[in-house]
Structure 1
Amino acid sequence: MDMQTYRDSRARAADASEAIRAAMASLGIPESVWGTIRPVVTHRGSPYVHLGIVRADMVERMAKAMRGE
């Protein structure tokens, strides 16, 4: 992978990471839950967001918000 691909993918992953952090914060989910979210770029240059392990009650709260409840 070339450096530009890495930078572009890293930027996309970082933006997505920040978006999910902001969404979780707006739901009142504490920073201790979303503070470990991080952007990741694979060796092929694909952008991902590592969410890690999240407590079930927090995931239920996120799912409820996604469903619009």
Structure 2
Amino acid sequence: MAYDKDLRSLGRRFYVGTLRSAHNVQDNGFGAFVLAKMDIHVSNAGDTAAHVRLIETAPAPLPTSSPGTSASIHPPTD
């Protein structure tokens, strides 16, 4: 919602907080999911360098990731 209201800085803070929470509970799959969602907003804002960094940072889908999480990290190519 912060992004929709053009409050990108606030939205980024929420994402970073969520990413820290995923790290604290050692949930790498959820952390990768958060990075993938962050990437959508960074990409829409036109920040190509940050877009590339997020793609490189998000780990490959983990064996313990749910199918939904894996699909959001690496969507299927048709």
TM-score range, shorter chain: 0.3 to 0.5
TM-score by length of 2: 0.36
Q: Which has the higher strand share?
A: 1
Q: Which has the larger helix fraction?
A: 2
